[in-house]
């Protein structure tokens, strides 16, 4: 990912800023600029999420994604935030602590890196609440 | 809209084909489909080709031009060729475009092909190219892999419905068995439940043998207006439905993680178009990129109640001779999964079944067959229904 491509999403990645449609009240993370319910009737504004939620489902990844080899095995989960939307993120805890329904909260962490000399990605991960 | 029929099929072997190039593969598949159909090159009105990632796998874009050129149909005949991309559903979507162009009356004779050459790059590049079928900015960057996404579907399916690792493995064992009877299959060896469960963990709960392989291969079919089909063949295979549906590109945006709602809707649209129900289908090729994907597919397409797919598979209801034979070709797991080619290969398999030429894997009394091709974790689904009867 180029520097600009990562940089323009930094507020969203670092601070869990998504969006909210003020017409229907629905929250979106990852951020959307078009509300699927209200479409052109919708009015979208930024919304900072509290970062608390629960694990909907999870896996322990053994064969890592490119740039994430150093972290394997790592826990990946779909987390439903208390405000409504779900996102994909890593959960930092022992493998045997992972369970569906567990409460988690967001933390700022290193996500991955492109190579020894490449860009380092920072962003949001989760830990048990 | 006009009725459409398949009159010719062709397929290369699927596998790690080190001695064959991308263009070798699609030329072989295309020519065998054209020979099988009995048409002349001059009769072809247009071509559609499904290819997911020529740019990443062989550093080649402009795939339509390359294919039509090396098929010998560019310099003299200037036949139009269009590449179609929907990740792993590229092949099914190319077939749908070919069907639409004939159904509309715009074209009479169209070739639909699919091709992917995945082993010219290392495993990490191939895996990363496939990960591009998910949302790069909000799934990939979090460390999600493709097996990882389907593993999360499997975990929740197990939690909600009591599906077991053994039941998932049963899909793989059954597909390997079917693969032993398919001459083009990448894997022609029997495996056991224990072999699946003892293979390396890729993304818990999915083992290596729950996952389809990296493959090279190409396949092609010739579709024509049904009115002229009997000019070329005694056994045309008629297209009864061609349906497509979209879902969210990200798994986390689905209402129910264990349901590919694009599959549900594409299936419903196809049944409605054909005037049929799941009971009318004699066999189905589903998109088993992972064992859990086959379980979800047979539920989402209405063959089994949600949550019953694992138990039905373990009980042999999806084997040849069972209630609804699933993936007689060996599926993506055993036949192989050259992503762009898969959707076309599914139609090749069903055509062989309906012609009665599927050899040892022939389903008795096959009259109606279905194909189901999925892009990504369910962002795109393409479903076709074919019949011996118009």
Answer yes or no: do B140 and B39 share one domain.
Answer: no
Answer yes or no: do B67 and B171 share one domain.
Answer: no
**pLDDT 10s per residue in chain B (390 long)?**
999 999 999 999 999 999 999 999 999 999 999 999 999 999 999 999 999 999 999 999 999 999 999 999 999 999 999 999 999 999 999 999 999 999 999 999 999 999 999 999 998 899 999 999 999 999 999 999 999 999 999 999 999 999 999 999 999 999 999 999 999 999 999 999 999 999 999 999 999 999 999 999 999 999 999 999 999 999 999 999 999 999 999 999 999 999 999 999 999 999 999 999 999 999 999 999 999 999 999 999 999 999 999 999 999 999 999 999 999 999 999 999 999 999 999 999 999 999 999 999 999 999 999 999 999 999 999 999 999 999
Centroid of chain to Cα A55: 12
pLDDT above 80 for A1: no
Inter-chain CB proximity B148 and A123 less than 8 Å: no
Q: Cα distance from B135 to chain A (closest Cα, Å)?
A: 10
Predicted interface score ipTM higher than 0.90: yes
Choosing from B173, B196, B229, the residue where a domain stops is: B229
- In a domain, residue A44? The reply is no
- Could you tell me the CATH number of the domain that includes residue A90? 2.40.50.840
DSSP B201-243: EEETTEEGGGBPPP-EEEEEEEEEEHHHHTTT-SS-EEEEEEE
Give the pLDDT confidence score for residue A67 in this predicted structure. Answer: 85
Inter-chain CB proximity B152 and A86 less than 8 Å: no
Answer yes or no: do B318 and B358 share one domain.
Answer: yes
Answer yes or no: do B351 and B285 share one domain.
Answer: yes
What is the total count of domains within chain A? 1
- In a domain, residue B236? The reply is no
Choosing from B196, B229, B262, the residue where a domain stops is: B229
Answer yes or no: do B272 and B177 share one domain.
Answer: yes
- In a domain, residue A27? The reply is no
- In a domain, residue B127? The reply is no
Q: Number of CB pairs < 8 Å for A and B?
A: 103
Q: What pTM did the predictor assign?
A: 0.97
Q: Cα distance from A33 to chain B (closest Cα, Å)?
A: 15
Centroid of chain to Cα B253: 24
Q: Which residues of B are catalytic?
A: 88, 337
**In contact, B239 and B276? CB cutoff 8 Å:** no
Give the pLDDT confidence score for residue A100 in this predicted structure. Answer: 98
Inter-chain CB proximity B144 and A76 less than 8 Å: yes
Among the partner residues A66, A95, A111, nearest to B127 by beta-carbon distance: A66
CA B64/CA B69 separation, integer angstroms? 8
What is the total count of domains within chain B? 2
pLDDT above 90 for A118: no
Structure tokens at A26: 């629905």
Give the pLDDT confidence score for residue A40 in this predicted structure. Answer: 94
pLDDT above 80 for A115: no
Answer yes or no: do B197 and B219 share one domain.
Answer: no
- In a domain, residue A85? The reply is yes
Inter-chain CB proximity B159 and A123 less than 8 Å: no
Of B344, B339, B375, B380, whose CA–CA distance to B126 is shortest?
A: B339
Dump pLDDT digits (tens) for A13-71: 999 999 999 999 999 999 999 999 999 999 999 999 999 999 999 999 999 988 888 89
**Residue B214 φ then ψ, to 5°:** -85, 130
Answer yes or no: do B334 and B356 share one domain.
Answer: yes
Give the pLDDT confidence score for residue B77 in this predicted structure. Answer: 97
Collect all residues with Cβ–Cβ distance below 8 Å to B285 and sequence separation of at least 6.
B326, B327, B328, B329, B331, B346, B349, B350, B369, B370, B371, B372
Give the pLDDT confidence score for residue B238 in this predicted structure. Answer: 98
- In a domain, residue A119? The reply is yes
Domain housing B188: 133-211+241-385
CA B327/CA B331 separation, integer angstroms? 5
Structure tokens at B144: 């999600």
- In a domain, residue B369? The reply is yes
Dump pLDDT digits (tens) for B137-181: 999 999 999 999 999 999 999 999 999 999 999 999 999 999 999
Dump pLDDT digits (tens) for A67-82: 888 899 999 999 999 9
- Could you tell me the CATH number of the domain that includes residue B372? 3.40.47.10
**Res. A116 pLDDT band, cuts 50 70 90:** confident
Give the pLDDT confidence score for residue B124 in this predicted structure. Answer: 87
Tokens 């800023």 map to which residue?
A17
Answer yes or no: do B333 and B304 share one domain.
Answer: yes
- In a domain, residue A72? The reply is yes
**Res. A119 pLDDT band, cuts 50 70 90:** confident
Give the pLDDT confidence score for residue A112 in this predicted structure. Answer: 83
- In a domain, residue B390? The reply is no
- In a domain, residue A23? The reply is no
- In a domain, residue B221? The reply is yes
Answer yes or no: do B37 and B170 share one domain.
Answer: no
- In a domain, residue A121? The reply is yes
- In a domain, residue A35? The reply is no
Answer yes or no: do B66 and B179 share one domain.
Answer: no
Q: Cα distance from A87 to chain B (closest Cα, Å)?
A: 5
Answer yes or no: do B286 and B315 share one domain.
Answer: yes
Instruction: Note whether B261 contacts A: Cβ–Cβ < 8 A.
Output: no
- In a domain, residue B128? The reply is no
Choosing from B181, B200, B229, the residue where a domain stops is: B229
Give the pLDDT confidence score for residue B288 in this predicted structure. Answer: 98
Answer yes or no: do B254 and B312 share one domain.
Answer: yes
- In a domain, residue B305? The reply is yes
Partners of B341 in beta bridges: none
A chain contacts of residue B206, beta-carbon cutoff 8 Å: 59
Give the pLDDT confidence score for residue B50 in this predicted structure. Answer: 98
Domain housing A58: 3-15+50-128
CA B212/CA B12 separation, integer angstroms? 18
Helices B339-355 and B90-103, axial angle in degrees (round to 10): 60
């Amino acid at each position: 990912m180029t520097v600009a491509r990562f940089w323009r999403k930094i507020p969203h990645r670092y601070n869990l800023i998504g969006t909210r449609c003020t017409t229907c009240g629905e929250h979106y993370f990852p951020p959307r600029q078009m509300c699927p319910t209200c479409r052109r009737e919708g009015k979208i504004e930024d919304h900072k999420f509290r970062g608390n939620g629960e694990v909907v489902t999870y896996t322990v990844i053994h064969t890592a994604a490119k740039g994430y080899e150093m972290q394997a095995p790592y826990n990946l989960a779909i987390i439903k935030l208390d405000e409504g939307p779900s996102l994909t993120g890593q959960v930092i805890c022992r493998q045997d602590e992972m369970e569906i329904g567990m409460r988690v909260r967001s933390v700022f962490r290193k996500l991955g890196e492109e190579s020894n000399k490449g860009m380092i990605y920072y962003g949001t991960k989760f830990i048990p609440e | 809209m006009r009725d459409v029929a398949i009159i010719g099929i062709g397929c290369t072997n699927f596998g790690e084909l080190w001695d064959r190039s991308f263009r070798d593969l699609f030329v072989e598949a295309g020519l065998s489909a054209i020979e099988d159909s009995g048409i002349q090159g001059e009769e072809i009105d247009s071509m559609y080709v499904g290819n997911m990632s020529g740019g990443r796998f062989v550093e080649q874009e402009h795939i339509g031009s390359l294919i039509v050129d090396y098929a010998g149909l560019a310099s003299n005949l200037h036949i139009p060729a269009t590449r179609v991309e929907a990740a792993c559903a590229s092949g099914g979507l190319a077939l749908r475009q070919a069907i639409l162009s004939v159904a509309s009356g715009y074209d009479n004779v169209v070739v639909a092909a699919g091709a992917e050459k995945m082993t010219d790059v290392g495993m990490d590049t191939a895996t990363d190219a496939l990960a591009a079928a998910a949302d790069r900015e909000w799934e990939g960057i979090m460390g999600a892999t493709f097996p990882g996404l389907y593993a999360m579907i499997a975990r929740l399916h197990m939690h909600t419905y009591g599906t077991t690792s053994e039941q998932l493995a049963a899909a793989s064992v059954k597909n390997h068995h079917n693969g032993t009877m398919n001459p083009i299959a990448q894997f022609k060896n029997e495996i056991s439940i224990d072999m699946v469960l003892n293979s390396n963990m890729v993304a818990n709960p999915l083992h290596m043998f729950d996952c389809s392989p990296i493959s090279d291969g190409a396949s092609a079919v010739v579709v024509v207006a049904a009115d002229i089909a009997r000019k070329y063949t005694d056994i045309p295979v008629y297209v009864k439905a061609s349906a497509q549906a979209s879902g969210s590109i990200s798994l986390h945006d689905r209402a129910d993680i264990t349901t590919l709602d694009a599959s549900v809707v594409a299936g419903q649209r196809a049944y409605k178009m054909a005037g049929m129900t799941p009971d009318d289908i004699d066999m189905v090729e589903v998109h088993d990129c992972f064992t859990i994907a086959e379980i979800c597919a047979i539920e989402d397409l209405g063959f089994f109640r949600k949550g019953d797919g694992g138990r039905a598979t373990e009980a042999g209801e999806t084997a040849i001779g069972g209630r609804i034979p699933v993936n007689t070709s060996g599926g993506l797991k055993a036949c192989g999964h050259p992503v762009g080619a898969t959707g076309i290969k599914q139609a090749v398999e069903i055509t062989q079944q309906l012609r009665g030429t599927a050899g040892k894997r022939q389903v008795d009394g096959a009259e109606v067959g279905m194909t189901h091709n999925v892009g990504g974790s369910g962002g795109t689904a393409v479903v076709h229904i074919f019949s011996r009867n118009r």
